[in-house]
Amino acid sequence: MFAARPTPPDRITSLHNPRIKEILRLQEKSAERRRQGLTLVEGYRELTNARQAGWAVATLLVCEELAGSDITGQLLAPAQQVPRLYEFLPVSAAVFAKLAVRERSDGVLAVLHTPRHTLADLALPPNPLLIVLEAVEKPGNLGAILRTADAAPAHAVLVGDPRTDLYNPNVIRASLGGIFTVPTVAAPMSEILAFLQEKGIRTFAAALAEGAKDYTATSFSGPTALVLGTEADGLTPATRAACDETIIIPMRGVLDSLNVSVAAAVLTFEAVRQRGQ
């Protein structure tokens, strides 16, 4: 005999439902997410990555029309254990469309407890490769860099003086869940630089500066931190001065710079190539 499928609670069909209003506030307001220590994650793959990284689920919303009956049943079962692992809210397609960030969603949205990550928590290998970002402000760029960090891989991404929420829904979407697979820490830039110096990690500032060394002629074989700034302003003078070397990606065309996520990918994969990974 087949095991009976768990019976879900009543489906929410109204946007005026109090729980839906609460989750919408979390979706729209980063201050509210920080205050409650919660993060919203859309997508079954991203949720899986988060859970594998040890993130705890508080609430799970599922639209069965989009997710399918198999995924819905799989996600419902833990919510009906004693004690239940999380709150399960089935919602209509119209309600889910209001909550979703993606144009084409798979019908899964989770509210997770946000763990606190600090520099002291980082467990680095003996010869680490890190990506350091100063004052990153565009969620899409941060997400793309996290995808690069996962693919290369880099051992961590450190974000100094961030101008965007690390767990902004658009960061999570752009990273395809890389925010959960790569250790990521936000801290004041001064603390990050001090941490790197203490750990004996050589810092390479990517900058359009006179005297900067071609990145292909630079050795990244030892403990390495690739330090990049914003597209508009680059690295601050203080950060650049604090780094051990300044490197450049030569530009052969008319324009003088790359998108920061592209620059991060070029430098990271060159470092990986040199290391023979």
Average of per-residue pLDDT across 159-168: 94
Burial (CB count <10 Å: 0-12, 13-18, 19+), residue 123 = exposed
238, 125: one domain: yes
For residues 195 and 163, give the distance between their C-alpha atoms in angstroms, rounded to a whole number. 21
> Do 134 and 94 belong together in one domain?
no
Domain range for residue 123? 119-275
Q: Does residue 138 share a domain with residue 45?
A: no
Give the model confidence (pLDDT) of 17-28 as tens digits.
999 999 999 999
Q: Is 65 a domain residue?
A: yes
Helix 139-151 crosses helix 260-275 at what angle (to 10 degrees)? 10
Residues 125 and 109 in one domain: no
239: pLDDT confidence band, cut at 50, 70 and 90? Answer: very high
Residue 51, domain CATH = 3.30.1330.30
Say what the pLDDT of residue 68 is.
Answer: 93
Q: Is the pLDDT of residue 182 over 50?
A: yes
Q: What is the CATH number of the domain that holds 270?
A: 3.40.1280.10
Q: Is residue 260 part of a domain?
A: yes
Considering the entire predicted model, what is its pTM?
0.91
Of 50, 83, 113, the residue at which a domain comes to its end is 113
- State whether residue 121 is helix, strand or coil: helix
Domain co-membership, 255 together with 228: yes
Given 113, 132, 164, which residue is the final one in a domain?
Answer: 113
Question: Does residue 107 sit in the same domain as residue 33?
Answer: yes
pLDDT of 205 > 50? The answer is yes
Q: Which residues pair with 225 in a beta bridge?
A: 130, 203
Asked, for residue 11, whether it belongs to a domain, the answer is: no
212 φ/ψ angles, rounded to the nearest 5 degrees: -65, 145
Say if residue 146 is in the same domain as residue 244.
yes
Residue 83: is the preceding peptide bond cis (ω within 30°)?
yes
The verdict on 138 and 181 lying in the same domain is yes
Average pLDDT over residues 54-81: 91
Residue whose C-alpha is closest to residue 227's, from 247, 208, 211: 247
- Same domain? For 137 and 244 the reply is yes
Q: Are residues 102 and 67 in the same domain?
A: yes
Question: Do the domain assignments include residue 221?
Answer: yes
Split at pLDDT 50, 70, 90, the class of 256 is: confident
Q: How many domains does the chain have?
A: 2
Residue 12 located in a structural domain:
no
Q: Could you tell me if 82 and 128 lie in one domain?
A: no
Residue 146: which pLDDT band, with cuts at 50, 70 and 90? very high
